[in-house]
Amino acid sequence: MLKKVFFPNSTNYYVWINSLLMLLLLAVNLAEPITIVFAYFFETIIIGIFHILKLWLVITKGSSNKQNGKRSKSFGLIPFFIFHYGMFVLVQSIFVFSFFESSVPGISNGFNIIHNFGILLNEKGMGVILTSIFFTNLAYFYNNFLANEKFREYAADEIFFRPYVRIFIQQFVVVFAGFFFVVFSAAYAAAVLLIFLRLPVDLIIVSIEKKSPAFDATMKKYSKSHDHFLQMKRKYQEFSE
């Protein structure tokens, strides 16, 4: 069962490609360690963009919002999410930039957000890595949400806060690796550590897929009945969005 989760297969190949590409770019000096660290930080924005698309699909195509005008009312959740998530990214950016201020040349104080974004987006290899991360999230969105029409199972308010679960795990790993970068001045070690910490996390998230045999087997093992199995499966799928 663990082999189906962590070994390369048809459902997680894009996660492996993304991680191996980062390691390759780092090894041949086509990307700086700081590029790896901040590319994962910038993924927060990419995840937010895809979640806006998820909300739109749930509102327009889902079966949960068709009655009593709920569908039209749910459209207001999209601009609210953009504002709410935007404020989250803003506060997070101030914290992260302040954390790395003394360790990354060019970064000024944490509140100089536009300047800092400009400096980091021009780091060597950032364009290639962000493109890879974008297509990794696109593949996850297509396989886990679009192709299996999972959007028909949700109401918009059910998944509104779900990306924050992924973001919390993601940023915890980034900050943890960042301590090696800042405190121990071990840039390459921090970048490699970050890649290897993120890889199993991403593989587990990808494995929580609607038609995943490994995920079903795990849920059945810990469920008390068929109804309990279905409830657990739905709940964990929600948290993986």
Whether residue 113 has pLDDT greater than 70: yes
- Tokens at residue 14, please? 């894009």
Range of the domain at 183: 2-239
C-alpha 141: how far from chain center: 10
Q: Which helix (H) or strand (E) element contains residue 103? A: none
Please name the residues in contact with 97: beta carbons below 8 A apart, sequence gap of 6 or more.
107, 109, 110, 111, 112, 113, 116
pLDDT digits (tens, 9 = 90+) for 186-229: 788 888 888 998 899 888 888 777 566 667 677 666 677 766 66
Count of CA atoms in the C-beta half-sphere (13 A) of 179: 5
pTM: 0.85
Average pLDDT score over the chain: 82
Domain count, the chain: 1
pLDDT digits (tens, 9 = 90+) for 123-155: 999 999 999 999 999 999 998 888 888 888 788
pLDDT digits (tens, 9 = 90+) for 158-194: 888 888 877 887 777 777 777 777 665 678 888 888 8
* pLDDT recorded at residue 68: 47
CA dihedral for 21, 101, 169, 156, sign (positive or negative): negative
pLDDT digits (tens, 9 = 90+) for 58-89: 988 876 555 444 555 578 889 999 999 999 99
* pLDDT recorded at residue 206: 84
What are the percentages of helix, strand and coil residues in the chain, rounded to 5?
Answer: 75, 0, 25
Whether residue 91 has pLDDT greater than 50: yes
- Tokens at residue 4, please? 């189906």
> Would you place residue 41 in the very low, low, confident or very high pLDDT band (cuts 50, 70, 90)?
confident
- Tokens at residue 42, please? 């910038």
